[in-house]
Amino acid sequence: MGACEVLILGTALTMRSPRFREGFAKYGVEAAGPHDEGLRAMTVSLITELQLGRLDGAAERLGGIAKTSFEQQFGAQPVVCLACTELPLAFPEQKMLTTFEYDGVLYINTGAVHINAAFDFAVNQAGQ
């Protein structure tokens, strides 16, 4: 993907987790959750809304959180890592894709990445 910077969005714990940052750092990618507490709270609130099936305006809200974070803490527009199973629900048409672009922002859907990896592992192990 050529990403140099990644914005991590997810639960409060996930956005603060050093484990995610360390994982990306192994590949020379700077990763961080939003530095602004208000943006982190908005992300957690959006997750709750998505859990309740409230999808109206969710993609726009998520895009707003991402773009505000980009302006506040990154030199360029990074890739957004959706590190929570509910966040891809904001994008119903793309929820099964590992990566997708929406409104000029590139997203990584970690749920779909894990599903594909598990499937590939199972298929490869069955063939051995």
Is the per-residue pLDDT at 85 higher than 80?
yes
pTM > 0.85:
yes
CATH number for the domain spanning 70: value is: 3.40.50.1860
pLDDT at 76: 74
In this structure, are residues 70 and 44 in contact, taking their beta carbons and an 8 Å threshold? no
**Structural domain total, the chain:** 1
| Maximum average pLDDT range among 19-33, 43-57, 77-91, 107-121 | 43-57
Mean pLDDT in residue range 95-99: 89
Nearest to 55 by CA among 78, 23, 12, 86: 86
Nearest to 89 by CA among 62, 119, 117, 116: 62
Helix 37-51 and helix 58-73, axial crossing angle in degrees, nearest 10: 160
Q: Provide the pairing of β-strand 30-32 with 5-9.
A: parallel
Nearest to 30 by CA among 62, 64, 73: 73
- Segment holding 123, helix H or strand E: helix 110-126
Residues of the domain holding 113: 5-126
